[in-house]
Chain A
Amino acid sequence: MSHRAATASTALLVLLSLAPAHLAGQAPVRFAVGATAMQYRVHSELNGETEALSAPGLGFEGAVSVWRIALEGRYLQADLEPSTTSTLARDAAEGHVLLTVRLTPWLGLSTGPLARSYATTLGTQRWVLWTFRARGIPTLVPDLVRGYAELWGALPLDVSVPESWNSGWGGDVGLAVALPRLPVWLRFSYRIEQYRLGDGARQETIDGAVLSLGAGRLW
């Protein structure tokens, strides 16, 4: 079911990219690369037991855009330290790839896989999800600052936990500064993801502030 949804959403975005749009004046091909830092916080609840871990995460991201279609990716890892007792430290690594179509200059739709792993001394837990995202980038300060809000839902592709999947969603809200004459950008946002499994027996929450600094043209 999730695989079908992934295929269907990708096909839908490809079709949407063929619809007429008014994005005149944009360069035909744009690149953007950047470094990402995140205050990575994980909050896990399982059968009433709570585990909290946090650490600064570091990674990178990039995007290539052709006309109104963009292919975006991000990788991030963090050595999470527990802040609750009887919790094992985890090495977290995550990445996503997104196919994005901009429907208007300020609204885009994305879909693509999100993979995350938690490595502990006891083993590795995998979370491979397919996400469907809507992104708004309204202008806050003309030619300088844009707002940034992304909400998404997730379906499991390969989640190595025994509980059955209930729901998954995420959000990323912040702002992006793009200098008008220099191909330099900065993004500052707050991100949160939450997954419920086993009829509420397991709840995973990841959140934190994300700061990205990069070169190229974001939009």
Chain B
Amino acid sequence: MPRRLLGCLVLVAAFAAPSARAQTAAEQLQYGIEAYRNLELDAAVGFLRRALAVPAETGLSPSERTTALSYLGAAELFGGRRNAATTAFRRLVVHDPRHHLDAVVFPPPVLQLYDEVRRSTRVVMAVAPADTAIVLARDTFTVRLYAAAYHGIRARLIRDDGSVLLSLYDGEVGDSLLLHWDGFDSTGAPAAGRYTLLVESLAPNGTVERVVHFPVEAEVVRLDTLPHPPPPPDSLLLPERQPAGPALRSLTAGVFLGGLAVALPALAGSGSQAGDARFAVGGAVTVAGLIGYFKQKPGRPLPDNIAANQVLLGEWRGRLDTVVRENEVRRDARLRIRTGPPVHEDLGTQ
């Protein structure tokens, strides 16, 4: 029965080839999954391989690729092609070392084979920010490595000419590992330039099994410091102590007008005829001048002016502190680091 069904599918596939080519990778993936669920394993393998064969730019997304490889390994295993299943699962581990098969979807034999492949596949996945900047001597550029199995790795920054700029790590990796780079080369100088970050997964005998590498472009950036805001000019600051002028003016005016009130008749040459009310007026005006003098007594603190000046100076100090803080940040040289997509290479020793 399966042979007869397979023959039909091959015929259908042959006649449907032009339309199949027109199908998208995602549709191929769906057909493959449906065929797998219908136990049409050869058809499933065909659909899934075609889906995975589409170039990455127009093909499956990373998560769809994970799904396709999972079903392909399972279909190959149930189709009796254990080596092919192992190959598919190894591709899956290389593609996403952190991936685990869903135990609800796949039966134990599939899970068991996948775990065997995962434990034996020495590969790491590197995750780095695409574009970032670090303050030299303060920050570090960090790359996170995820490993499928415990194994030895060697991480280095390589110059374009192939020479090693810096060795970042040489040792074992378990589940994950953080690589830190302070932005300097081995001589302590800021490492501006184009490099390749190379992570080699090593076999127990020290040979390189797989590598993952991605381009790193580092550029030293220096920002100009900002000028300090000028302090408020004296013309904006109010006197904080009562100046002598207003008090003396009040006193002078009071005494002068008081005397004038008294002397007005005498100035007119009719002092003997003038009434005495002028003395009362003169006294009142003089007393008012004295009150004005003591109310504006020189040297007396002026709380309103002091408060207004403090507000003004406080605003200026706030702006100054902001600039000082910003300049402290700007004074530090920065290294802008841009990375490209990681590339895996299987050296075929496994």
Contacts and interface: CB of A to CB of B under 8 A. Distances in A.
A209 B278 contact: yes
B53 interface: no
Contact of A209 (B257, B275, B288): B275
Given A142-B292, A207-B265, A175 B285 contact: yes
Interface string A129-146: 000000000111110010
- In terms of DSSP, what is the predominant structure of the interface of chain A? strand
Interface residues of B, number: 29
A140 B270 contact: no
A39 interface: yes
A174 interface: yes
Contacts of A189: 261, 281
Interface residues of A, number: 28
Interface string B249-285: 1100110010011001101101001110110111011
Contacts of B261: 173-174, 189-190
Nearest to A177: B288
A208 B277 contact: yes
Contact of A147 (B265, B277, B289, B291): B289
A205 B270 contact: yes
A163 to B, nearest CB: 17
A188 B274 contact: no
Contacts of A188: 281, 284
Contacts of B292: 139-142, 145
Interface in B274-324: 274-275, 277-278, 280-282, 284-285, 288-289, 291-292, 295-296
A142 B249 CA distance: 11
B190 interface: no
B246 interface: yes
Nearest to B280: A209
Given A141-B250, A145-B292, A147-B257, A194 B270 contact: yes
A189 B278 CA distance: 8
Contacts of B288: 140-141, 145, 147, 175
Contacts of B289: 140, 147
A147 B270 contact: no
Given A41-B275, A141-B292, A190-B277, A149 B265 contact: no
B260 A173 contact: yes
A142 B288 CA distance: 10
A173 B257 contact: yes
Contacts of A41: 275
A171 interface: yes
- In terms of DSSP, what is the predominant structure of the interface of chain B? helix
Interface in B222-257: 246, 249-250, 253-254, 257
A126 B300 CA distance: 56
B280 to A, nearest CB: 7
B295 A141 contact: yes
A140 B254 contact: yes
A107 B285 CA distance: 18
Contact of A174 (B267, B270, B273, B285): B285
Contacts of B275: 39, 41, 207-209
Interface string A181-199: 0000000111010100000
A173 B285 contact: yes
A149 B259 CA distance: 11
B268 A139 contact: no
A118 interface: no
Nearest to B267: A171
A174 B253 contact: no
A142 B257 contact: no
A75 interface: no
A147 B285 contact: yes
A204 to B, nearest CB: 10
A169 interface: yes
Contact of A190 (B254, B282, B291, B296): B282
Contact of A169 (B260, B268, B274): B268
A170 to B, nearest CB: 9
Nearest to A38: B277
Nearest to B279: A190
Contacts of A205: 268, 270, 273-274
8 contacts: A43-B270, A138-B257, A145-B292, A147-B253, A147-B285, A171-B260, A175-B257, A205-B273
Given A174-B257, A207-B265, 8 more contacts: A39-B275, A140-B285, A174-B285, A175-B257, A192-B274, A205-B268, A205-B270, A207-B274
Interface of A: 39, 41, 43, 52, 138-142, 145, 147-149, 169, 171, 173-175, 188-190, 192, 194, 203, 205, 207-209
